[in-house]
Structure 1
Amino acid sequence: MRYLENFTALNVFRKAPTVDMFQFNPHLKSLTITETDLSDLDPKVFLPIPNLQSLELSDSNISSLDFLVQANLSALRYLKLTDNEVLMINETIFKSLPSLTYLDLDKNPFTCDCSNAAFIQWVKNNKQTQVVNAHRYQCSSPVDKQGSLLLDFDIDLCRDDGSFLCFISSTCLVVLTLFTSFIHNFLRWHLSYTFHLFLAFLYDSRKRKKGVPHQFDAFVSYNVHDEDWVYREMLPVLEGEQGWRLCLHHRDFQPGKPIIENITDAIYGSRKTICVISRSYLQSEWCSREIQMASFRLFDEQKDVLILLFLEEIPSRHLSPYYHMRKLVKKRTYLSWPQAVQHPEVFWQNVQRALKTGDALTENTDLPTGAAGC
């Protein structure tokens, strides 16, 4: 039957035909198989008959039309699949049937939910394929939709498929990621500094309420390049001769403790802070944080807790980041080492006087200052 064009089998097969059923019928144009269990139909059975134009597989326990995608039925025009078990149809199936002009899916238990929304829209909008009696297709599920018409299902309810929420969520995630990256790269030290500053403030407030004395007389804030001067000139006089208890980075900071915590503990654990300022000091990130924290304590507590000691002459423009602090301390303790080279004993006496002054901050306290131009 090499030239067979029409084949009809009504309640003949007990199960789906084998893949080689039509291998010798390349001219087959019409195929009808009904009242047969085709639930396991292999799409390869259609590959030998690419010229098929009419296909009917009614009352055959078919629950899915996915087999049509691989059936290679590009010439198929007529398709009848009535009285089957089709619940949901993917409209992309019909892209594999470019010549289809007639479709009959009557008496299938369609489900009326968003899984069929695209198929419903295709039925209403496509201009090539006539879907026979589509206006009569009824729903079998869900329960509240049983008996209602498939085409009456409101597909607008499916358009809010969470894409907008997904867009908002992804946008927020991107913004949060960028913001977190910005914070990590540019502001993480400022946040850490602010956090520890707040902890130090609470610690100092509790300590003042309990009347606990400070651990040190002064915390010495200096740059590592000026360490030799601190150990050679400052320590022998202030600790050796005058007997002050000084807190130094390399000697008194607690090992293993975060450096920002050591700084806050040192500043708030000392009566005063001595800033040994040089050009290297101003260029140091950690020194900058120390003087900022000390100046914050000065303004916050309104106490005479800050002593500026300049190791070299520095133009005022280099001190512009500390303008508000300079405006206040110019009237108070301000010492210049270059001007005291000829009389160092006077310089250290002035440091001693600054360390002896009380905590009260007043505008008229007469303490030694450095050059008025600084």
Structure 2
Amino acid sequence: MWTSALQLVFIGFYLQVPTCYPSCTFYGLVANCPSRNHYWVPTLPPNITHLYLQMNFISEINSSSLRNYDHLQQLDLGMQKVPLVLRNNAFLRQRKLTTLVLGSNIGLQMEPRAFAGLFLSLAANRFYCDCNLESFLKWLNVTNVTFASPTEEYRCEFPAALQNLPLGNFSRVIEPCGEDDAKAIQDLQLALFIFNAVLVITVILSGFIYARLRGHIFIIYKTIVGRVLEGPKPNLPVDEVQYDAFLSFSENDYGWVEAALLKKLDNQFSEENLFRCCFEARDFLPGEDHLTNIRDAIWSSRKTVCVVSKEFLKDGWCLEAFTLAQGRMLEELTDVLVMVVVGKMAHYQLMKYQAVRAFVQRREYLTWPEDPQDLEWFYERLVSKILKDTKVKKFAEDQPEPAQPDAQTQEEEGIQLENIGPIPCQL
């Protein structure tokens, strides 16, 4: 039985059955250790004859790195992923070494006595003569290693333009390599990181500044545009209309409308204001039919501004004025109706009333800003809408119907149309 076991061991040895070690794979006396993330020569059996360490992270071979491997015949240190340095006496004990592979090592450095103790033959090497050969040529000029053939016989094989050029001649015309690609990429990554960081910080700060100071920014912007691009304010066009804007609103909202809109728009409140405004409390003819007053005000004004609030939606006369203005808009196909929503009103509250619903679904309207910073922007938009004549497209859904609040809404709010007096709202 013991004899059979020994026979199997010897058969496995001579057939080089693979044996696995933590960091290398062994085939008899051959240690295969490529791409194993080695940072130095690993500890291995001292009697190995072949050692393959290509594609690792070995950065240095010194006099103690290979001292335990006296039987090495072949050693592959090519294609290291970091610059490799060969120190003096690195191969002093490797008397049996016949093949040493150092190819494809970027930034390979060799001290003058790195190959002391070896008998080097470089005649079979096919040298690619470029700037990466500079360190080898410097070493070749200072080393005292014994070569099998004179160094004067070493010639360039590639590129074709330098073929058969002696290495000695090439060393006199070689140009140093430019900046290392890895360093260039690293610098580029750093620059991109700094740029992105500055960009993100700038965007965040810009958003914060805009949120806190957008009102002042808008005023400064309009001042610059007004002085540099637009020049003095032009006079309003003179036409056949009696008023620039007819303000339709509930009488319960008069105090707010006077402070927020009339004092900013009507030229009878301030000479600095642009518009001749019409509203019921001042401009309606006493004793005239109320519906006639509304119709005359709408057709005598360039635009109708409806200040839609909860009180506005409760008032049948206000809704009637909205419907008449919408009818004029569809008749002339001109944007003569300006809707301003004030107060905290949910969207569904506007959708209860057919006339308002048709406008909201198809047209643009203004909303009174909650933040005082946005007031200047709001006034700018409102003035622009009053001055600008824009063509509108007619939709089938826009056909106005008699302005009557929903029966359910009347019951909920306790508003009866027949109980409304002759002048129930400010229009």
TM-score (norm 1): 0.38
Q: Which has the higher contact order (CA 8 A, sep 6+)?
A: 2
TM-score, structure 2 normalization: 0.33
